[in-house]
Amino acid sequence: IRLIRSKDYDHLSQIAAKKIIEQVKHNPHAVLGLATGSTPLGTYRLLIEDHQKNETSYYHVQTVNLDEYVGLPSDHPASFHAFMKKNLFNLIDLKEENIHLPNGNAKDLDHECEKYEKLIEDLGGIDLQLLGIGRNGHIGFNEPGTPFSSKTHVVQLSPSTRRANACFFQSPSEVPENAITMGINTIMQSREILLLASGVEKAPVMRQLMEKSISIDLPASVLHRHSNVTVIADEEALSSCG
């Protein structure tokens, strides 16, 4: 893992956006793995700004998102589909048919998971996967204990993850109980991975991650086994690291 220390959230977003823009310029047909959550929002804003100012084009880019809730209509404002449209997809020249998220409304969810794996494979794999990190070390919706060999699968969301995401819903009970997520192995197949961590609430988990011991109790620790991972973290997120 290469660690890039940024002074604050804006700086982190600038470094991350620059890496993604470089990737897209270098390979206009890039397959980008994307994440939701609050951490990548600043990065997405800068991608939009750059697209408007410098006309970086996403016309041939394919995107695959990490995860989606089960049982929310895709136009529900809290669905990851709606989140990505609002915060990125509608504001750049990405083609509708090149946008991919797991379908949380598929009749046969296990089949949907297999289809999503096959889709990623057919696209030629993920060139650059963007990740956030949960306070418990989750990546995607892979909670502690998830086997490193996991492929795209259906998960039951932990109470803490449901609580963390409740702000996007009218009431906490509205948060779906299940989601589809790329598995840890799916994520590890990406050619390059960029993990972003910002804020003091990520300090304890970043300390654990930087201690370098690999365990399924800390899903993100698997990234030490990947040869092309960059962690971009701000000072607050690194404030517990020695």
Give CA 123 to chain center in angstroms: 18
Do the beta carbons of residue 34 and residue 65 sit within 8 Å?
Answer: yes
Q: Binding residues for ligand F6R, how many (CB under 6 A)?
A: 14
Binding status of residue 138 toward ligand F6R by CB under 6 A: yes
Active-site residue (options: 143, 153, 165, 234): 143
The answer to whether residue 114 is catalytic is no
Binding segment (CB under 6 A) for ligand F6R, from list 135-143, 186-194, 205-213, 224-232: 135-143
The answer to whether residue 138 is catalytic is yes
Binding status of residue 126 toward ligand F6R by CB under 6 A: no
Active-site residue (options: 51, 138, 165, 236): 138
To which H or E segment does residue 64 belong?
A: strand 62-65
Determine the Cα angle at 152 with ends 148 and 155, to 5°: 85
Binding status of residue 139 toward ligand F6R by CB under 6 A: yes
Binding status of residue 140 toward ligand F6R by CB under 6 A: yes
Supply the DSSP symbol for 65: E
Instruction: Work out the widest C-alpha separation in the chain, in whole angstroms.
Output: 49
Q: Cβ closer to ligand F6R: 51 or 132?
A: 132
Give how far Cα 4 sits from Cα of 18, 113, 149, 231, Å.
13, 33, 28, 6
Sites for ligand F6R among residues 30-69 (CB under 6 A): 35-39, 66-67
User: How many residues does the structure list for the chain?
Assistant: 242
Q: Where are the beta strands (DSSP E) in 66-216?
A: 67-69, 99-100, 128-131, 153-156, 178-181, 192-197
Active-site residue (options: 51, 81, 112, 136): 136
The answer to whether residue 51 is catalytic is no
Q: Cβ closer to ligand F6R: 109 or 206?
A: 206
The answer to whether residue 108 is catalytic is no
Minimum distance of ligand F6R from residue 52's CB (angstroms)? 24
Q: Cβ closer to ligand F6R: 48 or 60?
A: 48
| Nearest by Cα to 205 from 137, 144, 139 | 137
Chain residues that interact with ligand F6R, rule: CB under 6 A: 35-39, 66-67, 132-134, 138-141
- Show which residues are catalytic: 67, 136, 138, 143
